Structure 1
Amino acid sequence: MRSPAPVILGLIFAVAGLIVLAFAADHFVAGAARLAVFYDVSPVVIGAVLIGFGTSAPEMVVSGIAAGQGDLDIGVGNIIGSNVANISLVLAAAAAVRTIPVASATLRREVPISVASVLVFALLVQGGITRFEGGVFAALILGFLVFVLRSSSSTDGSFAGDVGEFVGDEPVVVEKAAARALVGLAFVVVSSYFIVDGAERVANALELSGGFVGFTLVALGTSAPELVTSVQAARQGETELLVGNLLGSNVFNSLAVGGIIGLVGPGPVLDTTLAETGSVLMVVIVITSAVFMLIGGSVGRNKAFVLFFLWVVSVVVLSGGDTAEAALTVLR
């Protein structure tokens, strides 16, 4: 019987890192947003660029560090797992509380862009990610931001709502906001190192692939803040921005995070099941959720059950019989 100490230590590192990361990312975005408001930056720019990148900071930093250390599988697994979790697990949890309406503007803009982004990532990740492909992802996210900025008015209510959520009503103190942003960013980076280290320890101790650990443990952790805030929003009836935010998160995950790992740590994806089967599952789940949104313009409990079931299926399929058997053998 092998000692469970490496697994326990890895889980402690990963879970502690994820908890710190969630709080640090919020403080980083809030501090940066308050600075932007003080310097009269447009709400559209703050909402589309700053908050868009900021809310995806956990995935960006964790995946970037993993790729930079040669663990590209963890980074790719995190992207695929976060995309799947956002649009199945998180949306399903919120819809189980209250039927989630999908605005017509979201159906016209965010839904097709999100589906296209996921498709592009799924196609380019096959076999691995080159630095050129990382550049393609980076160019696409810049193009997306330009499109959003040009197609949104300075008084866009959705961005105003996002900005108001992070900034609040208190007067902005520049020194305090700057310190909050810098300290938050520092803890985002430090906690991400612990997450990657913990994930590596768990994967090695249980003889799991880094991609599967990225898809499950890391992705669930980086998606946990969205899960909590989405369920809370559903309970309070504040669902206007919920679907759009989740779809936008998938765009940033696929293109921005994909660009970072491609530019920082290009290479082959060793877990071919993740790159091939995982990508297909991601596309199927994203397209299914898009169809659900188009039918009736809302996501209710019945659709939520199907989405949750698809998430469970994806975890079971990607675990594989050999992977599960190896983990159980180590734990015995």
Structure 2
Amino acid sequence: MVVQILLAVAGLVVLTFAADHLVLGSSRLAKRIRISPVVVGVVVIGLGTSAPEFLVSGVAAARGDTGLAVGNIAGSNILNLTLVLGIAALAGSVAVTSQVIRREVPLAVGAVVLFSFLAWAGLRPITGAALAVTGVGAIFLLLGWARQGRSNEEIADDAVEFTHAAAQIDVPVAPSRLPAWFEPIRATLGLAGVLAGAQLLVSNASAIAEDLGVPQVIIGFTLVALGTSLPELVTTVQAQRRGESDLVVGNLFGSNLFNSLIGGAVVGFASGSAAPARAAVALSVTMILTAGLAWVLLRRGLALTRVEALALLAAYALTMPLLLST
């Protein structure tokens, strides 16, 4: 058991390190071949930062550990809008523009609702295809919004700042001194590292669940989801310290959108028709309720207070006994 826990932690470390370099390598490569900063910000960075959830759940589903696969995505969706958002609001008021509340947030909530229903019905190739098509449509919609007026400039600035930054776990080296051929190698090695870390994490998390005699969905919802959501937690805390509340909200709801649509599609394709991945009614309802709660609290005054932050943290604390009772 101790060895399996250590190996799972090692897999998580490799996953986090490799995902960081996958996103940076892909972003810088896209910039070098003159892809629009808006595309880099919305697609490359947005999808890349959710790579740990996609690949961990995809690997788990391909291994037949469907409970772990669904639990990871569901847990990340719930954790992002309760624990992570609550921690950010405790550090300071999280304000958001009415435009984000009217457009991006409802789109993300709709994605969570769709994933919840399809996960309850069973994620298989046909539902995976439906989620993939919806995900592509959502990406084009986000790109269209991003190109309009002020948001285009903000996303472009964020993308340029990100691609000029050093990796969070990397030794700080000025990117301008790196040769052009290094970025595709960085991205390729990052992808390989994410796959290896995901395999290490999933195999040992599955073994831990079996040894403890608990359902895989519980391990996926707690340990695996918390681990794969660490990048969102770090990014959120950093953005909140800089006073970029819109970035906090956009990062968390955007993560849920990509998790639900693209991550759900990956799980559906990897599961196959014979053994579809399913979510219990309680888990599906909890995903919808937590997304709705965060949306309602933000709509009230376009900001989250510390009292409301405590409500979100309490909501996260209540999810575990609810799932254990099912």
TM-score normalised to structure 2 length: 0.91
**Aligned mates of 1:177, 1:105 — CA distance in 2:** 35
Matched, 1:285 2:290: yes
1:9–1:198 CA contact under 8 A, matched in 2: no
Matched, 1:75 2:81: no
Partner of 1:308: 313
**Aligned mates of 2:282, 2:293 — CA distance in 1:** 16
Question: Within 5 A, what are the aligned runs for 1:199-214?
Answer: 199-214=205-220
1:127–1:275 CA contact under 8 A, matched in 2: no
Partner of 2:204: 198
**Aligned mates of 2:154, 2:200 — CA distance in 1:** 35
1:115–1:286 CA contact under 8 A, matched in 2: yes
Partner of 1:163: 159
**Aligned mates of 1:162, 1:194 — CA distance in 2:** 33
1:29–1:166 CA contact under 8 A, matched in 2: no
AA of the residue aligned to 2:290: I
Matched, 1:52 2:57: no
Query: RMSD over aligned Cα, in angstroms?
Result: 1.6
User: C-alpha displacement at 1:146, in angstroms?
Assistant: 1.4
Matched, 1:178 2:151: no
**Aligned mates of 1:264, 1:281 — CA distance in 2:** 24
**Aligned mates of 1:132, 1:22 — CA distance in 2:** 31
**Aligned mates of 1:26, 1:260 — CA distance in 2:** 20
User: Matched residue of 2:181: which SS?
Assistant: helix
User: C-alpha displacement at 1:237, in angstroms?
Assistant: 2.1
User: Matched residue of 1:41: which SS?
Assistant: coil
User: C-alpha displacement at 1:275, in angstroms?
Assistant: 2.1
Partner of 1:222: 228
User: C-alpha displacement at 1:194, in angstroms?
Assistant: 0.6
User: C-alpha displacement at 1:220, in angstroms?
Assistant: 0.3
Identity within the alignment, %: 41
1:31–1:178 CA contact under 8 A, matched in 2: yes
AA of the residue aligned to 2:296: V
AA of the residue aligned to 1:81: G
User: C-alpha displacement at 1:235, in angstroms?
Assistant: 2.3
Structure 1 unaligned spans of 5+: 1-5, 322-332
User: C-alpha displacement at 1:212, in angstroms?
Assistant: 0.8
Question: Within 5 A, what are the aligned runs for 1:51-200?
Answer: 51-153=45-147, 156-168=152-164, 170-171=175-176, 173-200=179-206
User: C-alpha displacement at 1:255, in angstroms?
Assistant: 0.4
Structure 1 residues 129 and 184: CA distance shift in structure 2, 3 A: same
1:10–1:200 CA contact under 8 A, matched in 2: no
Partner of 1:250: 256
* CA displacement 1:243-280 (0-9 Å, x = unmatched): 0111110000000000011011133446xxx5210111
Structure 2 unaligned spans of 5+: 166-174
1:82–1:220 CA contact under 8 A, matched in 2: yes
User: C-alpha displacement at 1:152, in angstroms?
Assistant: 2.5
User: C-alpha displacement at 1:153, in angstroms?
Assistant: 1.5
**Aligned mates of 2:309, 2:258 — CA distance in 1:** 23
1:43–1:154 CA contact under 8 A, matched in 2: no
Partner of 1:329: none
Partner of 2:13: 19
**Aligned mates of 1:192, 1:109 — CA distance in 2:** 33
**Aligned mates of 1:43, 1:299 — CA distance in 2:** 30
User: C-alpha displacement at 1:127, in angstroms?
Assistant: 4.1
Q: In the comparison of the two structures, how many residue pairs are matched?
A: 312
